[in-house]
């Protein structure tokens, strides 16, 4: 299997005409300077090196990756352009550390993780500021991500002391059947840029709690959040070699291949697009590693005639425009029943018109930029395609004429089923509305996709609530809510949206069940 080049890999589906008129104008806020790292309360959280075996190191060849602020296109700093040699070194370090970390008590790991959680809470403003500078999301939302991110460390600290085995009654006298849970070993972790902190702790938290050691490849767009977390983990007492970080961009193909095929690695956990998930799964299959793949989404969002429209509007705002539409569980296709279609479209447009788009560190900003200009191009292509097939632009519809990768929050009405956005994840601030008539019709439309991560619907009919929740072919359903993400839930999808679950039950993905029969009793 041939792995894509770095350019191809990061241009795979992201998680990845002028409008005829504007329904209302948007208010845009002033940009902040990329020098804002200087405003951190603890500037030592900014690390510009990779982390292997407890040491901050540069790339062996001195290569660098330039990290930019998507709000300004200004350089924030650099991190090492590492390669296979550094990756092998990180895997070896993790393997050495596993010999002791894997034998620590659950209580010992719990206590370190509680310290880690407390440090994340104490440094919440700095961690949020880093997220905003490299990812672009509004500061208030970045603080929310840090809270969400820390909740995984807290949750899995408690899970560590609950990794129970079981006693199984035996049919033979004098024999006792028991099972125990043991850590799988070294884990490779590959994460995306849209939640630069939470996507790391959701995986690292489970790995640490289970007794595993890790090698992390953060995205080149948002490495500083990852490195800041690892600095806090180090301060919390995580031993050398238990967490290692390899930063790369141009060498991503080779690094990912090593992380998946190296025999020392026993599990691969990835969040990102479905095409990349398939490639990584194929590589991991060469040695039959355990895998967790949280891949692409194409979430339906359904509003029935009997819905509470106020509730549905709030749900759409939270679900569709969180992270400026750059979340794997956000609404990608919005289906509204004919009886409330006009009211819903009008009121949603009124709400979106109130957004304040700008630099995330500016007071009052509600929505930041997209991660880079390729993301802008993708959103524009989806709009152009839908309009060419009969869709109408209610508001927005184009990139904002300013530095950075800002795109106007957009609502399209009368989107036909043939529009490209119905089969591809847009990953941007584009709400595409389609009218439907019957429950049977919309269930068919909602399930007409290869993906099955999340789905949402609004209805006050209790019978319909159960029917639709069970009928949607997704791993997670939001009923009368647009927000489902929590540390306590089993997060994951069906069909081509992935394998395994994170969050609740997620620790089992990092452990092996061993059966022991005790005879001679």
Which residues are identified as catalytic?
294, 328
Q: Where are the beta strands (DSSP E) in 234-355?
A: 243-245, 265-271, 290-294, 299-303, 331-337
CA–CA dist 35, 252 (Å, integer): 28
Joined together, the tokens standing for residue 16 give: 């990845």
Return the half-sphere exposure (C-beta side, CA atoms, 13 A cut-off) of residue 28.
18
Long-range contacts of the stretch 86-89 (C-beta < 8 A, 24+): 86/50, 86/52, 86/57, 86/59, 86/60, 86/246, 87/215, 87/246, 87/255, 87/258, 87/259, 87/262, 88/258, 88/262, 89/52, 89/53
Q: Are the C-beta atoms of 379 and 431 separated by less than 8 Å?
A: no
- Which pairs with CB-CB distance under 8 Å and at least 24 residues apart come from 231-238? 231/44, 231/45, 231/47, 232/45, 232/116, 232/119, 232/120, 232/123, 233/116, 233/204, 234/54, 235/115, 235/119, 236/112, 236/113, 236/115, 236/116, 236/118, 236/119, 237/112, 237/115, 238/112, 238/116, 238/208
Cβ neighbors of 169 (< 8 A, separation 6 or more) are 177
E-only strand ranges, 110-264: 166-168, 176-183, 186-190, 213-217, 243-245
- 454's tokens: 């999340």
Asked whether 303 and 22 are in contact (CB, 8 A), the reply is no
CA 49 to chain centroid: 23
* Maximum distance among all Cα pairs of the chain, rounded to whole angstroms: 83
3 state DSSP class of 50: strand
Q: How far is CA 296 from CA 101, 434, 492, in A?
A: 33, 21, 10
CB atoms within 10 A of CB 408: 24
Q: Which residues contact 251 (CB under 8 A, 6 or more apart)?
A: 6, 81, 82, 83, 84
Strands 490-491 and 55-57: unpaired
And the tokens for 500? 């395994």
Secondary structure, 3-state, 406-460: CECCEEEECCCCCCHHHCCCCCCCEEEEEEECCHHHHHHHHHCCCEECEEEEECC
CB distance 436 to 457 below 8 Å: no
Contact 429, 400 (CB under 8 A): no
């Amino acid at each position: 299997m041939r792995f894509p080049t770095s350019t191809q890999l990061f241009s795979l589906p992201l998680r990845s005409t002028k409008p005829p008129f504007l329904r209302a104008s948007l208010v845009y806020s002033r940009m902040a300077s990329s020098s804002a790292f200087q405003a951190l309360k603890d500037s030592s959280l900014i690390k510009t090196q990779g982390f292997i075996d407890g040491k901050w190191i540069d790339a062996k060849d001195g290569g660098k990756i330039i990290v930019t602020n998507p709000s300004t296109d200004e350089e924030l700093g650099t991190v090492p352009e590492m390669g296979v040699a550094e990756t092998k070194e990180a895997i070896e370090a993790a393997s050495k550390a596993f010999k002791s970390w894997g034998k620590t008590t659950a209580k010992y790991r719990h206590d370190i993780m509680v310290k880690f959680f407390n440090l994340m809470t104490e440094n919440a403003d700095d961690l949020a500021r880093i997220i905003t500078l490299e990812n672009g999301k509004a500061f208030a939302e970045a603080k929310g991500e840090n809270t969400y991110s820390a909740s995984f460390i807290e949750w899995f600290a408690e899970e560590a002391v609950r990794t129970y085995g079981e006693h199984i009654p035996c049919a033979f006298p004098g024999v006792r059947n028991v099972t125990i849970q043991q850590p799988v070993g070294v884990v490779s972790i590959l994460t995306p840029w849209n939640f630069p902190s939470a996507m790391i702790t959701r995986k690292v938290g489970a790995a640490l709690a289970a007794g595993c050691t890790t090698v992390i490849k953060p995205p080149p767009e948002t490495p500083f959040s990852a490195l800041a977390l690892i600095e806090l983990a180090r301060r919390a007492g995580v031993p050398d070699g238990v967490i290692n970080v390899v930063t790369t961009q141009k060498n991503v193909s080779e690094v990912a291949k090593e992380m998946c095929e190296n025999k020392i690695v026993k599990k691969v956990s990835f969040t990102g697009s479905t095409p990349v998930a398939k490639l990584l799964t194929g590589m991991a299959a060469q040695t039959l590693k355990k895998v967790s793949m949280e891949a692409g989404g194409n979430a339906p969002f359904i509003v029935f005639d009997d819905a509470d429209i106020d509730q549905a509007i709030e749900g759409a705002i939270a679900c569709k425009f969180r992270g400026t539409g750059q979340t794997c569980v956000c609404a990608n296709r919005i289906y509204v029943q004919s009886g409330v279609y006009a009211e819903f479209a009008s009121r949603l447009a009124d709400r979106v018109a109130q957004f304040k788009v700008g630099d995330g560190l500016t007071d009052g900003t509600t929505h930041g930029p997209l991660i880079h200009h390729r993301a802008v191009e993708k959103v524009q292509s989806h709009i152009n395609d839908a309009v060419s097939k009969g869709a109408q632009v209610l508001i927005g519809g184009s990139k904002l004429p300013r530095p950075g990768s800002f795109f106007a929050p957009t609502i399209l009405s009368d989107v036909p089923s043939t529009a490209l956005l119905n089969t591809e994840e847009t990953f941007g601030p584009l709400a595409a509305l389609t009218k439907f008539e019957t429950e049977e019709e919309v269930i068919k439309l909602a399930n007409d996709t290869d993906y099955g991560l999340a789905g949402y619907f609004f209805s006050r009919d209790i019978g319909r609530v159960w029917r639709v929740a069970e009928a949607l072919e997704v791993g997670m359903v939001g009923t009368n809510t647009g927000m489902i993400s929590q540390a306590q839930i089993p997060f994951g999808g069906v069909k081509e949206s992935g394998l395994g679950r994170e969050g609740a039950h997620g620790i089992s993905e990092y452990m092996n069940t061993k059966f022991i029969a005790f005879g001679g009793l």
